[in-house]
Amino acid sequence: MRRIGGVVAVVLLLSTQQADAREVYRVGLYQNPPKIFMDARQKPDGFFVTILDAIAKKRDWKLEYSRCSWSECLRQLESGKLDIMPDVAETLPRRERFIFSKEVVLSSWSAVYKVKGSKIESILDLDGKRIAVLKDSIQAFAIKERAEAFGITPRYVRVASFKEGLEGVKTGRAEAILINRFHGERQKKHYGLKKTDILIKPSELKFAYPFGREALAKQIDEELRSLKSDRESVYYTAKEKLLKTLDNHIHLPPWLLWSLGLVIGGFVISLVLMLVFRRMVEARTRELMRTRNNLRYIEQYDKLTHLSNRSFFVHTLEHYVARARQNKERLAVVLLDIDRFKTINDSLGHETGDRVLVTVAQKLIAFVHSRDMLARISSDEYALILSDIESVEEVINTVERIKREIDKPMQLGGHGIYINCSIGISFFPEDSSYHDELLKYADSALDRAKKDNRSSYQFYKADMTRQAFAHMELAVQMRRALENEEFEPHFQMQFDRHSGKLVGMEALIRWKHPQKGMVPPGKFIPFAEETGFILQLDEWMMHRCLRRWKAWQEAGYEPGRLSLNLSPLWLEDEGFIKKVQNALRQAQMGPESLALEVTETQIMKNPDSSIEKLKALADFGIEIAMDDFGTGYSSLAYLKRLPIDKLKIDQSFVRDIPGDQNDEEMVKAIIAMAKSFQLTVIAEGVETREQEAFLLQNGCEQIQGYLHHKPSAAGEVERSLRDLGSGCFV
């Protein structure tokens, strides 16, 4: 099925290469006039549309507006069906779902609008009332927070759009609606509503994007900054129009001003008394609010470290488990106990002990992402929730970094204090699907860690602990191997079978262990990727191979172009391009001697950012090759944008040709696509004359595989280069 999908992708790409070359971005549009809406002619309009259209015109983008309700727009954005969603307030929960522009587009505030004649005047009057709120909106979260602070419980009527909420108030389904003032002032007359004095704090409205659109967000931020720096730009004309729209809807009619003038004298004393009374009520309300907030804080947070306490942690863990179950994610519960903390209290005093607890809390905060949670659940015990984890190794890596940080000496009150910690870990869903059992099992693992060997960590399941220690040992051995020069590059030659010339070699890392002999790459490279150690290995390989290449060139050999495999982590490293340039400079090599191989899967993890980095490398003169082509599911739009020079046909398609019809069609399609884009195509894993003949017959002229050369150490390769003489294949 995977291969059929690859064939379809290639065929579709060939059929669309003549299409509109402009970038196409899909924009969510919900009815929230005058900020964003579809007008009577079914055309996008509003402040955000004006700004976005101006940016798209300058960037030569094509925007496709997709009308949807607020909640549906957010779902489509999260799934990647939309590229941009305007008019979104940034909140902590939303940061887990989307990325946001750094530039604020507009500040907005909301108010409660009531049915005329209703007795809703202040926040306290909302107790027990039916209030329409937009589902998943910043207003819904804000009013709920305000209500809890005042100890009231409104009955929330959650609606998918402001129109549905306004209709709900009109028909009696709700008694009031919380809505942004821009929209509220436009609609209050039509729906017979009146604005109250209940205002919700201003929110900063931005553009939101799905993960993977970081480059797009950066481009729009640049354009926004440019527009906001020019007082004559469309940004300010659109904003002025927006504010005029609001002014036009909130001016007072002349007869009302005349009436107010007649009665103002008679009510002046009443107004003064009302003001005094109101201030008394407000002062009392603030006092009650402070008291309630203090009680709420005491109930949920630890007074010393300001972390969540045990009860709040248990309550939150239950929600985390429910979310992980719904999203089919993994999470880990980590309990950390300071070893021999009583000794610190007894010998140095409780004040120093408290400072140790605070310092440990501050150290742990650095390891907690926005999606995770940290709490102090007893005197010297902390708890973490690590959510949405991909592997046990990810947790091991985090725990080991925590231990290294905790083990560092502290200087407190003139004392050099050394502490250690024991850690217990349980996993959802492997150990249990219930939050209380996960906490109990992590505590059981912690007890075992303290009894067996203090200053260690244990998993609830013993086999996971054994796996963790095996990984720890492997990590130590790999670092030692790098120091002791146990790693060495091997090279596999690549030939142009039409001319018979050597065109280059792919460098492959090998580990020659002093006791175990050659360690298979599959045993250590995946672990190096998971721990990040691959970055050190790759950088070492780059410097070592470039120096070897320079030596061969100075000796009169023609080794062609050096191909290095690029780890996915390099594409996340902001300093990666400079490191490549420095390596070339130190080896006194030109960029034309180097090729970097990337896979489809690597690029599609963060396509916009990856393409930006690869373009910079290509502009510098380095060849970019797509490795294992055909095995991933690249977006056709991205494939057209990639700055690649060469496609490598994956050996899984070469293995069964000729003979396997699916593989034959796939290989033919890849070659045809490469030719249409004027790309070089090379097949890897070629082991038989029949495979080579099929590839040559269908236009693939570059070959790599055991048929002509197996990966070899530098000494053997140098002898082969000497045998090749002029570089021609014999």
Q: How confident is the model at residue 283 (pLDDT cuts 50, 70, 90)?
A: low
Whether 678 has a pLDDT exceeding 60, the answer reads yes
Q: Which of these ranges, 135-139, 251-255, 460-464, 612-616, has the smallest mean pLDDT?
A: 251-255
Query: What is the pLDDT confidence band of residue 142, given thresholds at 50, 70 and 90?
Result: confident
User: From residue 264, how far is each of 92, 259, 261, 271, 272 by CA, in Å?
Assistant: 47, 9, 5, 9, 12
Say how far apart CA 536 and CA 543 lie, in whole Å.
Answer: 11
What span, in angstroms and rounded, lies between the C-alpha atoms of 180 and 47? 14
Three-class SS of residue 659?
coil
Against a cut of 0.75, is the pTM above it? no
Burial class (CB in 10 A: 0-12, 13-18, 19+), 261: exposed
Q: Is the peptide bond before 521 cis (omega within 30 degrees of 0)?
A: no
pLDDT at 253: 46
**Statement: residue 229 has pLDDT above 50:** yes
Report, as an integer, the average pLDDT of 26-34: 90
DSSP class per residue in 246-260: HHHHHPPPHHHHHHH
Contact assessment for residue 580 and residue 542, using Cβ atoms and an 8 Å cutoff: yes
| 124-133 confidence digits (pLDDT tens) | 788 889 999 9
713: nearest Cα among 544, 464, 470: 544
Task: Report the run of H or E that residue 417 belongs to, with start and end.
Answer: strand 415-417
Least confident interval from 68-77, 407-416, 668-677: 407-416
Q: Residue 256 has what pLDDT?
A: 41
Read off the pLDDT of each residue in 547-562 and give the average, rounded to a whole number. Answer: 92
The yes-or-no verdict on residue 446 having pLDDT over 50 is yes
Mean pLDDT of 458-473: 71
Nearest to 569 by CA among 534, 616, 540, 523: 534
Q: What is the mean pLDDT of the chain?
A: 82
Can you tell me which residue has the tokens 């002990």?
Answer: 353
Helical spans, DSSP H, in 366-514: 392-407, 435-452, 462-483
Amino acid letter for position 313 = F
166-219 pLDDT tens trace: 999 989 999 999 988 777 887 888 888 988 878 775 567 899 999 989 999 999
The pLDDT of residue 551 is above 90: yes
Report the alpha-carbon distance of residue 482 to residue 460 in Å, rounded. Answer: 33
CA distance 28 to 35: 13
pLDDT band at 20 (very low <50, low <70, confident <90, very high): low
Return the percentage of the chain with pLDDT > 70, whole number.
83
Cα dihedral 222, 228, 233, 239, rounded to 10, equals 120
How far from chain centre, in Å, is Cα 314? 27
